[in-house]
Amino acid sequence: MAAETREPRIESRNAMTIAGLQRRFDFKDMDDIPKLWMELGPYFGKVPAAVSAAAYGVISGYRKGVDAIDYLAGFEVRGTDLPKAFVRFEIPPLTYAVFEHKEHVSKIRDTIMSAIDVWLPASGRKRLKPMTGGLQYFERYDEDYDPQVAIGHIAIWIPIEP
């Protein structure tokens, strides 16, 4: 069941680099994404290039006809002082519809699907179509997010046409 659709804020953001651990997930294996976050756990507060303590989940790599995505759990970074296991993902300057997720993280798909399937078509806005394999959207977990209880400020950033 889709979550209640809340009105997003529209925000433009400069280019940024997200670096972290990345895996490819089949749609049937999406429930395994928390395991990737568990692997990232030891890196919190220990990445010298990290801009802040906020964490990001970057969804990319979708290709038409393939039921899988790439998911990167990581941090916004500047510079190259990164753990060897980390991969980098460059996000260009874009305009976004930003949806706040106020429930337990287990319900995040409801917020995402409501934003994409309900709000976007009714809004008159158009989702920015990524190049094949490019950015679909990203999740931002603010510093107040508590992974122990999986609650805190989370925002879903969906690229839209300006």
Q: Is the pTM of this model over 0.85?
A: yes
Taking only the tens place, the pLDDT of each residue in 25-78 is 998 998 899 899 999 989 999 999 999 999 999 999 887 778 899 999 999 999
Taking only the tens place, the pLDDT of each residue in 82-114 is 999 999 999 999 999 999 998 888 889 999 999
- Cβ atoms 87, 97 nearer than 8 A: no
C-alpha gyration radius of the chain: 15
Would you state the structure tokens that stand for residue 24, as one six-digit string? 């490819």
CATH fold label, 9-160:
Multidrug-efflux Transporter 1 Regulator Bmrr; Chain A (3.20.80)
Domain boundaries, the chain: 9-160
